[in-house]
Amino acid sequence: MRLNGEIEEDEEEEKVAKSLNSQTYSTGIGFPQLQSQNLVVGYALTSKKKKSFLQPKLIRLAWNKGIFFVAIDLKRPLSDQGPFDVVLHKLSGKDWCNIIEDYRQKHPEVTVLDPPDAIEHLHNRQSMLQDVADLNLSDCHGKVGVPRQLVISKDPSSIPHEVNKAGLQLPLVVKPLVVDGSAKSHELFLAYDQFSLAELEPPLVLQEFVNHGGILFKVYIVGEIIKVVRRFSLPNFSKHELEKVAGVFRFPRVSSASASADDADLEPSVAEHPPLLLLEKLARELRRRLGLRLFNIDIIREHGTRDVFYVIDINYFPEQA
Ligand SMILES: Nc1ncnc2c1ncn2[C@@H]1O[C@H](COP(=O)(O)OP(=O)(O)O)[C@@H](O)[C@H]1O
Ligand SMILES: [Mg+2]
């Protein structure tokens, strides 16, 4: 039985906590609020996640507000522990999902963050963006969509034909379809021609590269609180470059490896955060449709536009303020 979710956590998570000197927007109350009584949060996290999230400062701050974190003992039945007001978890594995789902059914009075099947929805790069694609946010202080993309389930030799048929524009960002927290699931490639794609290993998502001035916005959603940080990302490419280069190239995790771009000297049209009203609407809709309360959205602005945005990634319970 695999309960302790020994997966390799996103390196990114370590970095984000350090880059939170940006704007926080709070629009209301997302979690059970306490006046006089205490709140007990049972947590089930990997040791790495526990170390990065449950830092002494947070524990102290919570304590002062009457919020207490209690480790869930994975060797004992969950229902014998507690009572908890909130259960916070980020572990992998079918067994854990079954335990937490069963607990949710039997304890409707406990706020479980979040339902395992809703989290599972984000482990596939196609399903994670489907809800954004289904949204109609075209007239809300900006437009939000997802880059055009194609899923290749098997037979890489069919890729050149599939790309042509779908009319996808090069270059393409190649991403593993499944995101399971492993380093491999974050191994991304840039493909400058469709023929080299036949070398890659499906299942994959092929996504049109969108020029975005080298800046990415990470939008953290915690209940009804929204926080935005700016990060460096891949630079724009030119048509000229596309004519000169062929092949498929692996690229590093650029947005996580580099420092925060919050204080960088950037062109205002690139640096400006997406409109708050747009983010609020997007967050509200996604919270509802995904059934999640702790997640983050990677969003980019199409270069040369003021208000055309693309969501390229959604992650569950990353590090945040
Ligand atoms: N469609 C795209 N257009 C331009 N850049 C992209 C696109 N998709 C991803 N990127 C770049 O690649 C990085 C990683 O992509 P992402 O989908 O967030 O994968 P990961 O799961 O590894 O975080 C992004 O932060 C961004 O810099
Ligand atoms: Mg990402």
Residue where one domain finishes, among candidates 103, 120, 137: 120
Question: Which among 222, 216, 252, 219 has a CA at the least distance from the CA of 236?
Answer: 216
Domain count, the chain: 2
Torsion, CA 42, CA 11, CA 236, CA 124, rounded to 10: -60
Ligand 1 probe mutation, 173, 210, 232, 260, most atoms within 8 A of CB: 173
275 HSE (CA, 13 A, CB side): 14
Predicted pLDDT at 221: 96
CATH number, domain with residue 69: 3.40.50.11370
Tell me the per-residue pLDDT of 166-200, one tens digit each, with 9 for 90 and over: 999 999 999 999 998 888 999 999 999 988 888 88
Q: Whose CA is nearest to atom 20 of ligand 1?
A: 186
136 HSE (CA, 13 A, CB side): 0
Tell me whether residue 253 is exposed, middle or buried, using C-beta atoms within 10 angstroms of its C-beta: 0 to 12, 13 to 18, 19 or more. Answer: middle
Which atom from ligand 1 is nearest to the alpha carbon of 254? 27
Same domain, 215 and 298: yes
For residue 10 and ligand 1, the question of a CB distance below 6 A is answered with: no
Q: For residue 309, tell me if it sits in a domain.
A: yes
Higher pLDDT, 11 or 56: 56
Q: What is the pTM of this model?
A: 0.87
Tell me the per-residue pLDDT of 269-291, one tens digit each, with 9 for 90 and over: 999 999 999 999 999 999 999 99
* Whether 275 contacts 141, CB under 8 Å: yes
Same domain, 77 and 131: no
Buried b (16+ CB within 10 A) or exposed e, 239-249: eeeeeeeeebe
For residue 177 and ligand 1, the question of a CB distance below 6 A is answered with: no
Least confident range of 43-52, 226-235, 250-259, 299-308: 250-259
Pairing of strands 143-145, 149-152: unpaired
Tell me the per-residue pLDDT of 117-173, one tens digit each, with 9 for 90 and over: 999 999 999 999 999 999 977 767 899 999 999 999 988 888 999 999 999 999 999
Same domain, 179 and 216: yes
Q: For residue 321, tell me if it sits in a domain.
A: no
Ligand 1 centroid to residue 254 C-alpha, Å: 8
For residue 316 and ligand 1, the question of a CB distance below 6 A is answered with: no
For residue 299 and ligand 1, the question of a CB distance below 6 A is answered with: no
Which atom from ligand 1 is nearest to the alpha carbon of 208? 1
Same domain, 72 and 44: yes
Q: Which residues contact 119 (CB under 8 A, 6 or more apart)?
A: 292, 316
Tell me the per-residue pLDDT of 60-82, one tens digit each, with 9 for 90 and over: 999 999 999 999 999 999 999 99
Predicted pLDDT at 115: 95
Provide the domain limits for residue 56: 27-120
pLDDT band at 36 (very low <50, low <70, confident <90, very high): low
Residue where one domain finishes, among candidates 58, 92, 120: 120
Predicted pLDDT at 320: 53
Look at the block and give the residue holding tokens 């974190």.
69
Same domain, 182 and 300: yes
Tell me the per-residue pLDDT of 3-28, one tens digit each, with 9 for 90 and over: 333 333 344 333 333 332 233 343 33
